[in-house]
Each structure stands twice: as C-alpha cells, then as structure tokens.
C-alpha cells in the first residue's frame, strides 16, 4: 500500500471543513494511519516548502501555514498519491472540477484548503518532516475486502 502526506490548511480548519475532508478520504476507501491537529512552526514550514524558497510567494506560504492550526495526516491505500491529488482538484480552485475538495469549497489559489504530496518521493519526504514512525497505526478496515480485489 502506498502512503501519502495530506494537510488540511488553516483555511480548511477555520472554515470547519475538517470533517467533510476526512469523510471524503474515508469514503474513497483510503485509510488514515496518522492524524494530528497542530500549529506548524516556522522551521517545519520552511522545510515543508523548501522547493519554493526562491519564489515570490514563499513568505506568504510560510505566514499562512503558520497562522492557524492545521490537520496533518498520513493516508494509505493503492495509488494513494494520485487518488488524493484527484480528490483535491487543481491547485487553483477556479480550475478545479466540481466534486473535488477545491472545486466544491475553494475560491482563491492562496486559500485552497488542502495540501497533498505531488509524488511518491514528495510524500515520503513530507511524511518524515511531519511524523515519526511512532504516530502511525497499522490496521485493516473491515470494508477493505469490498474496496480492493
């Protein structure tokens, strides 16, 4: 099973969308193996967004992601990275399809509710930034025999 990193950003938390987003993940058939609400520190934010350090919007990213609590998750399932990217929708909500998280709830690219790793390599890097192995719980959902062949 593939693992990916997912974060409900400050706007998702402040708008009361945690339950809706978690519900969509579970309804898809993916398994949440680690989840924690926390404040992201400046150091963690800089490590998380390191690939954007030279971009004009870097300071905005850091200020935003550290402004309010977030919900960090490790999500597991077959093709979890691609599944979460599809469920999240395009980065800019105006380009996101109806039925995706950003398409249904987002209006602004700077307030797009959710972060999902864009590749398996990014997922592995981001998971190690936000979690140690101790927080992850291995289990099987009873319904998985109805999700996977």
130 in catalytic set = no
The verdict on residue 43 lying in a domain is: yes
The verdict on residue 54 lying in a domain is: yes
Write b or e for each residue in 75-85: b if 16 or more Cβ atoms lie within 10 A of its Cβ, otherwise e: bbbeebbebbb
**64-94: pLDDT as tens digits:** 999 999 999 999 999 999 999 999 999 999 9
pLDDT recorded at residue 58: 95
What is the CATH number for 32?
A: 3.30.70.141
Report the side by side order of strands in the sheet with 70-77.
31-38, 70-77, 2-8, 114-116
pLDDT recorded at residue 140: 87
Please state, in angstroms and rounded to a whole number, the distance separating the CA atoms of residues 2 and 117.
Answer: 12
Number of domains in the chain: 1
**pLDDT above 90: percentage of residues in the chain:** 91
The verdict on residue 148 lying in a domain is: no
Q: Range with the lowest mean pLDDT among 3-17, 46-60, 75-89, 129-143?
A: 129-143
Residue 143 — pLDDT band, cuts 50, 70, 90? confident
Please choose, from the candidates 5, 15, 18, 31, the residue with its C-alpha nearest in 3D space to the C-alpha of residue 147: 31
From the candidates 48, 52, 115, 130, give the one annotated as an active-site residue: 115
The verdict on residue 143 lying in a domain is: no
Q: Could you give the residue ranges of the DSSP H alpha helices within the chain? A: 10-14, 18-28, 42-48, 58-65, 80-88, 101-105, 120-130
The verdict on residue 145 lying in a domain is: no
Which residues, 6+ apart, have CB-to-CB distance to 27 below 8 Å? none
The verdict on residue 147 lying in a domain is: no
pLDDT recorded at residue 147: 86
Query: Which structural domain, as residue segments, surrounds residue 63?
Result: 2-134
The verdict on residue 88 lying in a domain is: yes
DSSP of 121-137, one letter per residue?
A: HHHHHHHHHH--GGG--
Neighbouring C-alpha atoms within 13 Å toward the C-beta of 84: 31
Please state, in angstroms and rounded to a whole number, the distance separating the CA atoms of residues 70 and 129.
Answer: 14
pTM of the model: 0.95
pLDDT of 135 > 90? The answer is: yes
In this structure, what token pair is assigned to residue 106?
């987002």
């Amino acid at each position: 099973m593939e693992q990916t990193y997912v974060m409900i950003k400050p706007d998702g938390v402040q708008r009361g969308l945690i339950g809706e987003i978690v519900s969509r993940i579970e309804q898809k058939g993916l398994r949440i193996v680690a989840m924690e609400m926390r404040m992201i520190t400046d150091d963690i934010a800089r490590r998380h967004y390191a690939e954007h350090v030279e971009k004009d919007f870097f300071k905005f990213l850091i200020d935003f992601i550290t402004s309010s609590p977030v919900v960090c998750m490790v999500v597991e399932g077959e093709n979890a990275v691609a599944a979460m990217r599809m469920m999240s929708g395009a980065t800019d909500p105006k380009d996101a399809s109806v039925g995706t998280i950003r398409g249904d709830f987002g209006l602004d690219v700077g307030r797009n509710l959710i972060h999902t790793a864009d590749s398996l390599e990014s997922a592995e890097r981001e998971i190690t930034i936000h979690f140690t192995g101790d927080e992850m719980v291995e289990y099987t959902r009873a319904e998985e025999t109805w999700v996977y062949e």
